[in-house]
Amino acid sequence: MEISQKIVDYAIWYYLKYYPSPRKLTQKLLEKFGEKSENGKKFGWIWNEEIEYILTEKLRNIIQEEEVIQSKIRLFKNKWKSKLYIKQKLFERWENRELIEKYLLEAFMEWEWEQLEMEYNKLKKKISPNVWVWSNDYKIVKQKIIEKLCRKWFKYDDVKRVVG
């Protein structure tokens, strides 16, 4: 298969600079060297078959999709982001959904519960202890805490179990 070295070099450069998912890299190469582009006229047009060849043959030693997904999960987890938040961010990158689900499950066994309880206790401490005495105020405050935790991407059912 005859592909311009300029296209291969661009694919390598783009991958190493942005670490895109294979689907995003394919989209970018089609955009840059597809049949409607100026660069395509200069260096030869490429189609999905050529891109597949570039990904499997030319970039096979460089592309480490599993390691990129695992490192992104660790990065978000270290920033105390929830499982749903991380999943959404990785889906936005067009990463492999099966790999995302697999590595998220491994990474979030007990950790997510600890994080949820920690966030709940932090919100509870911000509220004056006197509020918990009055039952009507307590219900309002409890609902606000539930809303805040749900906005932080925690599952509603999990939040209800922790808040009680």
Question: Among residues of the chain, what percentage have pLDDT more than 90?
Answer: 0
Q: Give yes or no for a contact between 25 and 50, defined as CB atoms under 8 angstroms apart.
A: no
Q: What is the distance between the alpha carbons of residues 125 and 131, in angstroms, rounded to a whole number?
A: 11
- Residue 62: closest CA among 25, 101, 102: 25
Task: Summarize pLDDT for 101-143 with one digit per residue, the tens.
Answer: 888 877 776 666 777 788 888 888 776 555 555 556 677 778 8
Question: Among residues of the chain, what percentage have pLDDT more than 70?
Answer: 86
Q: What is the pTM of this model?
A: 0.46
Q: What is the distance between the alpha carbons of residues 121 and 41, in angstroms, rounded to a whole number?
A: 61
Q: Give yes or no for a contact between 100 and 69, defined as CB atoms under 8 angstroms apart.
A: yes
Entry field: residues in the chain: 164
